[in-house]
A and B are shown apart, each in its own frame.
Chain A
Amino acid sequence: MAAEAVVAAVDVGMSVEQIAASQVGMKAIGAGLAVGLTGIGTGVAEMGIGAAAVGAIAENKDFFGLGLLFTVIPETIVIFGLVVGLLLLFL
């Protein structure tokens, strides 16, 4: 695999160091996308739940705990993104 890449890189005139650097760069972009996009997803999902939770809490304070719990459930999405990001960077 790496040998093929080296052959291909030699074809376009890249050194082995350049290939290694671009691989690290690609991983970093992937990790960034994973965390960034899942972050947006979480934000969109939490918007509705958070708005409804604040509405419910405004009417009845007892909903605070439950409202908070439901609001943070979509955090799992960004955690998945974070895990994928970490795997990309450190494995």
Chain B
Amino acid sequence: MGVNISAPYIYVCTRMRMRKSKLLPKEEYQRMLNMSVSEITRIVGESEYKQEIDELGTTFKGIDLIEVALSWNLAKEYQKIQEITPGTLKQFTQVYLRRWDIQNVLTILRGKMQGVPSGKIKEILVPAGSLDKVALDRMLTEESPDRIIEMLKDHRMFPVLTREYPLAKESGSFSHMENELYKHLYANIINDAKSGVKGGASFLAYIQLEIDIKNVKTLFRLRADKVDEEAREMFIPGGSLSLNDFASLNAIKDLNEFIDMIRANISNDTLHVLLDEVKAKKGGVQYIEARLTRVQLEQMEKMSKRNPFSIHPILVYLEKKKYEVFNLRALARGKESQLPSEKIVDYLVM
């Protein structure tokens, strides 16, 4: 893995490290667990989210204010990062952020199918990918989903959309299409990383880690939900597991045997520690998922220290920022629904 010692790389990686150091520490979440929604809003409003909270304070109230401010801030942050990253790092960042396009397009399609007003859909969009605010607004003004898909002619996900949309429309469920879109995205990302561009190897290492963690999460979720059919469909190729491994893992009923098999298939020390923990103490699927995310982040941190001037420091920040937003949202939502603190903690990645 090449260490790129060039000034723009050093510049941007330092900026990402500085930004990462400004993220909320674990203790802050612990404190917030004992607060009400309005107190959380106040704390959030005093931190990096001040500008958004101030801007939206007149339009939204309570939980909606936090939610929209968080999404806006995340989108703004991601757009900013795309602006400052140089050369191939920019290309990788854009490829990585393309997942938000999938999420936004699916949100719009789902909303339109269910007749949700455009204003409501707009509130939950995060214009962080290649489709910016203007493009998304244009899509929102269209009423028919077919026209919306047509507008995405030049986008890389267009072939999958046209192939899968008729089926989704017929069945009324977008879940199959969603799986296909993500598989296509990962296949594309792996292709880009393998195209021989400088720094592609470190990007590939990250993507494989993410796919592994995603597959393990899916396996745990499938176990919890006891769904056997369609398991093969949820598998994302490209990581350490093959489709056959995935299917046979899913078929194992005994938890201990299941965990031993994952250990044998995926070599990752941090993951192994977590698996031992799960073996000893059965946590809920939410808890395991949050811990798996933690494993991913820790592994990414290690990778970013090994390659200090590569795509890794940027990806670590992008992911950590995403989970900060998720955590704050989970906290605010949990408090709003008056869930006990012990339950909310399971959802937090910290």
Taking the complex as formed, is B11 at the interface, i.e. its CB lies under 8 A from any CB of chain A? yes
* Whole-angstrom CA separation of A52 from B19 in the bound complex: 13
Interface string of A37-54 (1 = CB under 8 A from B): 000000000011011101
Taking the complex as formed, is B213 at the interface, i.e. its CB lies under 8 A from any CB of chain A? no
> How big is the A interface, by class?
10 to 19
When C-beta atoms are compared, the residue in chain B nearest to A63 turns out to be B18
Number of A-B contacts (CB under 8 A): 31
Contacts of B5 in A (CB 8 A): 48
Interface size, chain B (Cβ < 8 Å): 12
Q: Are B7 and A48 in contact (CB under 8 A)?
A: yes
Contacts of A60 in B (CB 8 A): 18
Taking the complex as formed, is A58 at the interface, i.e. its CB lies under 8 A from any CB of chain B? yes
* Whole-angstrom CA separation of A47 from B10 in the bound complex: 9
Taking the complex as formed, is B284 at the interface, i.e. its CB lies under 8 A from any CB of chain A? no
Q: Are A56 and B10 in contact (CB under 8 A)?
A: no
Q: Are A59 and B19 in contact (CB under 8 A)?
A: yes
Interface string of A8-35 (1 = CB under 8 A from B): 0000000000000000000000000000
Taking the complex as formed, is A65 at the interface, i.e. its CB lies under 8 A from any CB of chain B? no
Shortest A51–chain B CB gap in Å is 4
Known: A51-B7, A59-B19. 4 other contacts (CB 8 A): A50-B7, A56-B14, A56-B18, A59-B18
11 A-B pairs whose Cβ atoms sit less than 8 Å apart in the complex: A48-B7, A51-B10, A51-B11, A52-B10, A55-B10, A55-B11, A55-B12, A55-B13, A56-B15, A59-B19, A60-B18
